[in-house]
Amino acid sequence: MSDYDEIRARIRALCEGETDEVALMATVACELHHSDERFDWTGFYRVVAPDLLKIGPYQGGHGCLVIPFSRGVCGACARTREVQLVDDVEAFPGHIACSSSTRSEILLPVFGAGGRLIGVLDIDSDRPAAFDSRDAEALSAILADVFGHL
Ligand code: SME
């Protein structure tokens, strides 16, 4: 299980003073991915046009490049602007399977200043029901630290 306090402090230190969104996403994806063995794919999808996401920095196997807000768990997160906790991806209507080994996911909106939706953070696990509200709260706090002022 992640020691989120330690990860949060490390990410804050690494990102201190940086404002480039891609550099920040690359750093966050790397640190989160290597912090927890539950995380088999860790990455961002960026809002590049109204109702359209494109892949950003990630760790893990190939991720699909483009996702409209109308599709997948990523699209649901972007559409609703709410965390998506998916215990069983096969039970999620319209789930987009970038890997056949994925069993559960957590999706978090990434907000900038004034509630601007920058993108979403997608973490996939090969374990069923790998994520819970503790992950949602801790990861949301990390994202707010890094992106909330941009
Ligand atoms: N599973 C996501 C797609 C992204 S790949 O898993 C990296 C979805 O359903 O939106």
- What's the predicted TM-score (pTM) here? 0.97
Q: What is the mean pLDDT of residues 38-58?
A: 98
Domains and CATH numbers, the chain: 4-147 (3.30.450.40)
Q: Ligand 1 test: best mutation among 122, 123, 126, most atoms within 8 Å of CB? A: 122
pLDDT at 1: 46
Ligand 1 atom closest to the Cα of residue 71 is 10
Q: What is the mean pLDDT of residues 54-74?
A: 98
pLDDT at 36: 97
Any ligand 1 atom below 6 A from CB of 63: yes
Check the CA dihedral 44-9-31-124 and report its sign: negative
At 65-113, the pLDDT tens digits run 999 999 999 999 999 999 999 999 999 999 999 999 999 999 999 999 9
Q: What is the distance in A from the centroid of ligand 1 to the CA of 7? A: 24
Q: What is the distance in A from the centroid of ligand 1 to the CA of 48? A: 17
Say which residues have a Cβ less than 8 Å from residue 42's Cβ, sequence separation at least 6: 29, 32, 33, 58, 59, 60, 121, 122, 123, 124
CA atoms of 121 and 17, how far apart (whole Å): 21
